[in-house]
Amino acid sequence: MTTPVWFITGCSTGFGRELASQVIARGDRVVLTARDKARLSDLVAGHEDSTLALDLDVTDAGQIEAGVKAAFERFGRIDILVNNAGYGYMATVEEGEEDQIRRQFDANVFGLFAISRAILPIMRAQRHGRVINITSVAGFIGFPGSGYYAASKHAVEGWSDSLAAEAGPIGIQVTCVEPGPFRTDWAGRSLVQTPNRIPDYAETAGARLAGTKAISGRQPGDPVRAAQAIIQITDMEKAPRHLVLGAFGVNAVTTKLRERLAEIESLRELGISTDFPDA
């Protein structure tokens, strides 16, 4: 195959920026996107032949259509889509604000769906492609104070399972990357919070809301190593369905899945008993 073409959303900061930087450095071609492409000028400088910077708000259907068209006209293919754009919203479930909830789902869920639908026909025609969705440990675990964020990431995880089953037979592989806490300034830059004012939640969601921004800049995860890991899985012949990043994430997710399996097994006979006897 020729040098692969990446299409990465949300490249102005965080994982998207670090990943874009490393992909460029290794000589791959890449479409970099951000709400304001001017913030990508330093990444593009000196690599104009192998990069294309685009203004892209994933909630804007017109920008999605124009961006995918420009990418295909420039490079003639798209091999790896990285759905990275999105942000966090934290609130107790009871105190969640409707406009904030819907705004987050527009970016984290519906925007991701839309950009994927726009690029899938290109990958389908190629009979080759990788879709990498940056979700979160919250795609497996609903922590107190982040119910709506977790819901958005759970939605992407379930959607990815279906896409993998549909598109896998025609050469399109799907991976969900689930980071734990990483030092991307996510909490200080890309996090919206609704303060907890109900005393009954003060020791659960309230405590977590208060502590999340305080740890920004001290998280154990290294974005450079995370980008290297993401690039590494694209070189594998068979892409993994899941890549959990960071010790906290790996330990939390494996513990949660073991607990869930044990609970399902403990109720196996009760669950099976609900079938018709002659089924």
Residues marked active site are found at 149
Which residues lie across from 244 on neighbouring strands? 178
- Phi, psi torsion values for 53, nearest 5 degrees: -100, 135
245: part of which helix (H) or strand (E)?
A: strand 242-245
Q: Is 131 helix (H, G, I), strand (E, B) or coil?
A: strand
Question: How many of the other CB atoms lie within 10 Å of CB of 186?
Answer: 22
Amino acid identity, position 261: L
Distance of CA 118 to the CA centre of its chain: 17
> What's 2's DSSP letter?
P
The amino acid occupying position 247 is A
d(CA 77, CA 121): 11
Q: Which of 130, 149, 150 is nearest to 230 (CA)?
A: 130
**What is the Cα 256 distance to its own chain's centre?**
20
Cα 244 to chain centroid distance, Å, stands at 11
- Bridge partners for 32 per DSSP: 8, 53
> How far is residue 53's CA from residue 108's CA, in Å, rounded to a whole number?
21
Report the distance separating Cα 85 and Cα 109, nearest Å: 10
